């Protein structure tokens, strides 16, 4: 009986500060500009869409936390305008759960940093010869874990603009099947082979409270 009372006391002590923090929800939608480091093509040419819902909590006057669930398209695109025989387009479609810590900049907005776990539910692609073979597309791993660095700019009391940069922490394909082009990020972690999502996101965020 005494043990139960202690457990209830501990749960109450942990729950009270959580309840004291206001949670605010909202919706977000915008665009992605992506490339895949490792495929020998460069440039944020693969344009896509992203959007979902979020919840934020201001833990202190400066520090906060933000959790999202969103759809986001990534991938790569390479083409030569005057040469239709040179074409490559890869579409990677993810459900992401971005989790970040935010540092308030007062009325101007906030800085943020965190991680982006993502689940790949579809991969599509074409080249000059037609649809990319399934054997190639299934090589992409179902789980991606990326970094997140960004800035939020306050537009109105409820509306803000978010700009983020993200990069995969590990290869999105089996390194033995991936390319050998090494990005600056890959070199930091000593990667010798691999393909990595490298993308920018821009979105509008609307608070619903």
The model's pLDDT over 136-170, given as tens digits with 9 standing for 90+, comes to: 898 999 999 999 999 999 999 999 999 999 999 88
Say what the pTM is. Answer: 0.84
| Structural tokens at position 4 | 């139960």
**For the CA atoms of the chain, what is the radius of gyration?**
21
DSSP notation for 40-66: S--SS-EEEEEEEEEEEEE-SSSEEEE
Q: Which one is the CATH code of 21-207: 3.40.50.300, 3.30.70.600, 2.40.160.20, 3.30.1330.10?
A: 2.40.160.20
Q: Per 3-state DSSP, what percentage of the chain is helix, strand, and coil (rounded to 5)? A: 15, 60, 25
Express each pLDDT in 15-73 by its tens digit: 444 444 688 999 999 999 999 988 888 889 999 999 999 999 999 999 999 999 999 99
For the chain, domain boundaries = 21-207
């Amino acid at each position: 009986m005494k043990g139960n009372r202690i457990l209830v006391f501990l749960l109450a002590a942990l729950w009270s500060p959580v309840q004291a923090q206001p949670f605010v929800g909202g919706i977000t939608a915008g665009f992605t500009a992506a490339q895949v480091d490792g495929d020998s093509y460069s440039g944020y040419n693969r344009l896509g869409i992203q959007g979902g819902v979020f919840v934020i909590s201001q833990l202190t006057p400066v520090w906060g936390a933000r959790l999202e669930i969103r759809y986001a398209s990534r991938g790569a695109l390479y083409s030569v305008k005057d040469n239709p025989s040179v074409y490559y387009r890869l579409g990677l479609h993810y459900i992401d759960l971005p989790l970040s810590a935010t540092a308030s900049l007062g009325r101007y907005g906030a800085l943020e940093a965190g991680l982006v776990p993502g689940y790949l539910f579809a991969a599509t692609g074409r080249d000059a010869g037609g649809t990319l073979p399934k054997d190639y597309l299934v090589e992409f791993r179902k789980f991606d874990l990326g970094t997140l660095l960004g800035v939020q700019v306050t537009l109105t009391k409820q509306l803000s603009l978010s700009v983020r940069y993200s990069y995969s922490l590990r290869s999105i394909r089996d390194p033995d099947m991936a390319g050998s082009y090494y990005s600056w990020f890959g070199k930091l972690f000593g990667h010798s082979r691999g393909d990595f999502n490298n993308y920018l996101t821009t979105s509008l965020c609307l608070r619903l409270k």
